Amino acid sequence: MKISVVIPTHDRIDLLRDAVETVRRQDHSEWELVVFDNGSSDDTGKFAKGIADPRVRYERSDVFLPVTDSWNRAINSATGDYVTFLGDDDGLAPKYFTRLIRVIRDFALPEVLYTAIYQFVHPGVAPWEPQGYVADVKNGFFFIGRDAPFLLSPDEASKAVHGSVGLRRNFTFNMQAFCFKQDFLNRLRRDGPIFRSPYPDYYFANVAFAKARNVVVVPEPLGIAGVSKASYGFTLFNELEEKGVELLNAKLTSDPLYAEVERFLLPGPLYNTNYVITMEHVFRYARDLLHHGVAYGRYRRLQIYKVLNSAALGKESKGSVINLLWSRLSVAERAWTLALRAVIAVSRFLGLYKTLVVPVLSRLVEPYGFYPPEGIISRGQHSRLIQVFETLQGATREIQSAPSKSGSP
């Protein structure tokens, strides 16, 4: 059984080197690694071509493609029986292939596997944890109370996707958590490209749950999701929206559904608008599973809150954005907005806005219905992905060499 690992990259060779090493240092030999170079101007090509391993292939686009086009080109290059998709700041945990293949065989070749992950937040990325950290993340409601691989039930899959399109997300959409059977990808290719929408990972995570005949969930973390200073996650954590747009290299107005849903959209963070358009793509393709459409009302309340919050915190011009927002609201939404502004004004006067009101309002309107528990493994001990891999590798060896409870080897 051959597993393909696909890594799209653009001008991030230092991160790519570590990602590649986490594949090459695995203890299973039957794999291929596809490095898809999305128009890099650094030495990515020289590095990838110089790897003395016939299992490593290098593909390239001579132009810098939008993220979704790049990912489609990348995943279409895979030839393995199963396909794992990584960002260039992500990696595989030690013994990834041997552990994954065991589960694949135990469950008679499932179409999709979804695992817990390690999350490696680089130093200087997270304002709340500037020294960086590594965590074991159980990234979905269905992990609760389970410690062995299991088949995701149809009801659980439906609940997961309904949560996403209802803007009450209850599992995370990391591609590092997934492994796809090639036959499943080929079946979906008959309907069009694998990845669609402004956020290809948000789209396909939900489509995979909706369309797969069987999904096996693995509570053991097998992938390492990196969040580096060069990642989109960094721009979200640090409110660098323009930098995030630059990384994605995609124009919202170019999306094929933009014209149809434009009347629902409001000023405010582009992240939320990209999210809601992505969920419209999910709904269009998986409507046979879904009982309701995208929760545009919830999205609009979220945008209203975000604009008012930014104004309250002095992060952007109060006048132009608020006036534009007001002009696009319904009568009911204007009443909600006036009430919200009053709450913000009173709480700011009392000195309670940041400490009390913001947390409450965020919980009410943010697009989350589940917050994954994080088991922090370390803080401030790693600056590179390969260091995390080596630490996990050492821990694995220690566990394997430890005596049993009976004292026998």
Beta carbons of 218 and 114 less than 8 angstroms apart: yes
353: its two tokens: 């806005």
User: What does the DSSP 8-state code read for residue 93?
Assistant: P
Distance of CA 237 to the CA centre of its chain: 14
Phi, psi of 268 (to 5 degrees): 135, -170
By DSSP bridging, strand 31-38 and strand 3-9 are: parallel
Phi, psi of 397 (to 5 degrees): -65, -40
Start-end of H helices in 107-181? 154-165
Per-residue pLDDT tens digits of the chain, which is 409 residues long: 999 999 999 999 999 999 999 999 999 999 999 999 999 999 999 999 999 999 999 999 999 999 999 999 999 999 999 999 999 999 999 999 999 999 999 999 999 999 999 999 999 999 999 999 999 999 899 999 999 999 999 999 999 999 999 999 999 999 999 999 999 999 999 999 999 999 999 999 999 999 999 999 999 999 999 999 999 999 999 989 889 989 999 899 999 999 999 999 999 999 999 999 999 999 999 998 898 999 999 999 999 999 999 988 887 655 688 899 999 999 999 999 999 999 999 999 999 999 999 999 988 899 999 988 778 999 999 999 999 999 999 876 554 444 433 333 3
Cα(275)–Cα(169) distance, rounded to whole angstroms?
11
Q: What angle do CA 384, 136, 247 make, to 5 degrees?
A: 50
Taking each helix axis from N to C terminus, what angle separates 241-248 and 270-286, rounded to the nearest 10 degrees?
A: 40
65: its two tokens: 């493609």
pLDDT at 381: 96
pLDDT at 313: 85
Which CATH number fits the domain 3-234+372-394, given the four candidates 3.90.550.10, 3.10.20.30, 3.40.50.800, 2.60.40.10?
A: 3.90.550.10
Cα(97)–Cα(103) distance, rounded to whole angstroms?
10
By DSSP bridging, strand 215-227 and strand 112-121 are: parallel
How far is the first Cα of the chain from the last one, in angstroms, to the nearest whole number?
A: 31
- The pTM (predicted TM-score) of the whole model is 0.94
- Which residues on adjacent β-strands are paired with residue 133? 121, 379
pLDDT at 318: 57
**Domains in the chain: boundaries:** 3-234+372-394
Rg (CA), the chain: 22
